[in-house]
Amino acid sequence: MQVSVEINDLECRMTVGVPRARVDEEVEKRLKDLARKSRINGFRPGKVPVRVIQQRYGAQVRQEVIGELTQESFQNAVAQENLRPAGMPSIEFNEDDNNNENISFTAAFEVYPELNAITLDGVSIDKVVTEVTKNDIDEMIDKLREQRKIWEVVERTATEGDVVVLDFEGFLEGEEEPFDGSSATDYSLELGSSRLIAGFESGLMGVAAGEERELKLNFPTDYQNEALADKPVIFKVSAKEVKESRLPEVDAEFIKAFGVEEGEMEAFRADIRDNLERELAETLKSQLKQKVLDGLLEANDIKVPKALVDADAQQLKENMETEFSNQGVDSAQLNLQAEQFTERASKRVQLGVLIAEVVKQNNLQPKAESIRETVENIASTYEEPEAVISWFYSDPNNLKEVEASVLEDEVVSWVLERVSVIEVPQSFNEVMNPTMSDANTEDNAD
């Protein structure tokens, strides 16, 4: 088998010559086999002349043989030349009538980049350190109380935070009939929740049960219903009830509702601490992992095969369409294009190549104890953790995603041992609610 290879960046053109004699031999062998098995009128079974089979099936058999030998020769040539194809090759036959020895073809494909060494020059990682405090537990208890607050009817005017039960109708300027979707009966609206257009909730401050009001408002210019955007509207509102919230007491009944059977405050706080610490550990691990991978990518700007990027971009597009479909949104209306995900896909593919290279060069393996620990952490969030653990270990395929995650953790550890790591103290809220923390920082700066 003759092979010649040309590589330009990651684009490879490999020409392979398959001996014509080998093709002819295989074709002849299959035709003789067909002659023994074929049933054709006018001939006894097994006595059909090969020339008849040749006339009927020769072209088809030859095409099948060439296809199979091409695939086999391609794989052998790739192994012989130590190439790592990315994606499927494009095959073009180069038959030369003057060449009686070979049937040649040219395979065009991309290859993975050859990385001699992974560099970590200039990489510095900020590692956030924090702990769960008494105040964090107090705040979580307040949130749990808020989730179970009770609404009670009151005989006073409404203020922010109250719920007003009301009927309303909306009329566009100059129209006598309410427009579609503008009416509601016994609608519960929490004042200050910003659920309705600007001015609606503020226009109900101080309203009392039995009172009627007209709210002259404007739909915002960027309103989701373009037919109503920037149009003036009058809402006729009838308030029926005003309710205020009452937070439940943190008593034994309240505590037992969260699975703490003994109903004692000390056990309740310990359970909350365990949950917060688990969430905190997972968040810190995820954030640190992302910083490490970002640093690895920034220090190793590599070119990756377009075929892999295109395939990943298509997969990201399909994932988003599925996500929207699961939410009841017609994905066809989104008109998503794979090209919209190319930049993200490129980074994902680059990271995949870099991670694989770190694993290969350092012979990293997912540790069995780390796999077990990860499985147990996942199982702990279910009602029957032992059943979940058994499922994972019932089939090696069930562990593949866990093993891949643990292997990425090995890569993260490998990087952290070789770069500058700076510990940055933060509070629990700053870690778990980074957007809110950023907003507070900007407010303080102003």
At 444, the pLDDT band (50, 70, 90 cuts) reads: very low
Domain final residue pick, 58, 80, 111: 111
Does 142 reside within a domain?
no
Q: So what's the pLDDT on residue 446? A: 46
Domain final residue pick, 246, 269, 292: 246
Residue 445 has pLDDT above 70, yes or no: no
At 226, the pLDDT band (50, 70, 90 cuts) reads: confident
Task: Assess whether 225 and 266 both reside in one domain.
Answer: no
Longest dimension (CA), the chain: 105
Closest CA to 232 of 197, 184, 186: 197
Q: So what's the pLDDT on residue 129? A: 96
Three-state SS at 15: strand
Residue 279 has pLDDT above 90, yes or no: yes
- Asked whether 302 and 353 are in contact (CB, 8 A), the reply is yes
Task: Assess whether 212 and 342 both reside in one domain.
Answer: no
Domain that holds residue 63: 2-111
Mean pLDDT of 88-116: 83
Candidate ranges 10-19, 28-37, 53-62, 416-425; pick with highest mean pLDDT: 416-425
Task: Assess whether 264 and 381 both reside in one domain.
Answer: yes
Range scoring the smallest mean pLDDT among 21-35, 71-85, 194-208, 367-381: 21-35
Q: Could you tell me where the beta strands, DSSP code E, fall in 158-246?
A: 163-172, 184-190, 212-218, 232-246
Mean pLDDT of 440-445: 48
Say if pTM beats, i.e. exceeds, 0.85: no
Does 119 reside within a domain?
no
Residue written as token pair 């609610």: 433
Sign of CA pseudo-dihedral 311, 316, 317, 321: positive
Residue pLDDT, tens place only, 1-51: 788 999 998 999 999 988 888 988 999 998 888 888 877 777 777 777 888
Task: Assess whether 182 and 260 both reside in one domain.
Answer: no
- Asked whether 103 and 96 are in contact (CB, 8 A), the reply is no
Q: So what's the pLDDT on residue 99? A: 59
Residue 285 CB-half CA count within 13 A: 13
Does 160 reside within a domain?
yes
- Asked whether 278 and 290 are in contact (CB, 8 A), the reply is no
Residue written as token pair 């924090």: 130
Domain final residue pick, 189, 212, 246: 246
The domain spanning residue 281 has which CATH number?
A: 1.10.3120.10
Residue environment code for 99-135, b if the CB has 16+ CB neighbours within 10 A, otherwise e: eeebbbbbbebbbbbebeebebeebebeebebebeee
- Asked whether 320 and 329 are in contact (CB, 8 A), the reply is no
Mean pLDDT of 151-175: 94
Three-state SS at 119: coil
Does 116 reside within a domain?
no
CA 441, CA 424: separation in Å to the nearest integer? 16
Residue 419 CB-half CA count within 13 A: 26
E strand or H helix at 304, and its extent? none
